[in-house]
Amino acid sequence: MTVHETKLKVDLTEYVEKHEFVFDAVLNEEVSNDEVYHETVEPIVPIIFQRVKATCFAYGQTGSGKTYTMKPLPLKASRDILRLMHHTYRSQGFQLFVSFFEIYGGKLFDLLSDRKKLCMREDGKQQVCIVGLQEYKVSDVETIKDLIEKGNASRSTGTTGANEESSRSHAILQLAIKKSVDGNESKPPRLVGKLSFIDLAGSERGADTTDNDKQTRYVYSLIFVVIFATIGHTSWAI
C-alpha cells in the first residue's frame, strides 16, 4: 500500500511525501474471528514446538478495535496447541503454561496474582526475564478461558480523550510450551517455545488526545523495546 502525505516545507510550500507499506494480508471489517485467526495466528502455532518464540500483537489508535480483535485469538490458539500436544506430540511429554501481565506507567504487574508488582532483570546469558511472574500449568481450554477472563478483569482501564473506557496498559498473555529435563518430573521443566499475545495501549497522535497523563513518544518506544526484549523476535502484527 502506498500513502501520499501532504506536508509543508519551511517556506510553507507544499510537497508530497510517499510512504510504502507491505502486508501479508489485509482483512476488512466483515471478516469473522475464525478468518482473522486463520490468517494471523494459526500458521505460527506449530513453530513454537520447534524452540521458537512467536508473537502476535495489535497496534493502533484507541477505539480502533485492538482488544476486540485480540480477545478470541489466545483461546483459539490454546485449542490448537493442546490438540498438537495430545496427538502429534503425545509422546514428547510437553506441558502448557499460561502467564498474563501488564506494563502500566512503566511498571509491571501480574494480572493472575492480584496485580503483584514484578521486576525485570537480565540473567547471566543476557536474557531478559521477569522475576516473580506466576505461571499456571493447564491441560484444558476451560481453565485457560478462566485465567484469561481473570486477567482481563484485572487490567487497567481509564478514560482518554479518544475513548471513554480504554485499555491504558500494554497486556501480554503468554502460552509457553515446556518439557521436563530427561523426563525427570522433579526438576523444573525447560522452555521449548512460547506464543505471546500483546494488546498495546492506544497509539494516539497528538491531535486525537487531550490527556494530562499521556505518554511521550520516548516512553512508548521504551516500553516497546521492553516488550520485545522479553518475548522474542518472530512476530505477526495486526
Are 62 and 202 in contact by the 8 Å Cβ rule? The answer is yes
Residue numbering of the annotated binding site for ATP: 60-67
What proportion of the chain, given as a percentage, has pLDDT over 90? 46
The cell for 31 is: 471478516
pLDDT band at 159 (very low <50, low <70, confident <90, very high): very low
The pair phi, psi for residue 39, each rounded to 5°, is: -80, -25
- Render pLDDT for 66-88 as a digit per residue (tens, 0 to 9): 888 888 999 999 999 999 999 99
Alpha carbon distance 127, 131 (integer Å): 12
| Cα-to-chain-centroid distance, residue 90 | 27
Class of domain 29-237: alpha beta
Half-sphere exposure at residue 43, Cβ-oriented, CA atoms within 13 angstroms: 11
Residue numbering of the annotated binding site: 60-67
- Render pLDDT for 12-39 as a digit per residue (tens, 0 to 9): 899 999 999 888 888 888 999 999 999 9
Count of CB atoms situated within 10 Å of the CB of 188: 9
Task: Name residue 29's beta-bridge partners.
Answer: none
- Render pLDDT for 169-199 as a digit per residue (tens, 0 to 9): 788 999 999 998 776 677 889 999 999 998 8
Which one is predicted more confidently, 53 or 138?
138
Are 80 and 45 in contact by the 8 Å Cβ rule? The answer is yes
Residue 150 has pLDDT above 90, yes or no: yes
Rg (CA), the chain: 20
The domain spans of the chain are 29-237
Which one is predicted more confidently, 210 or 230?
230
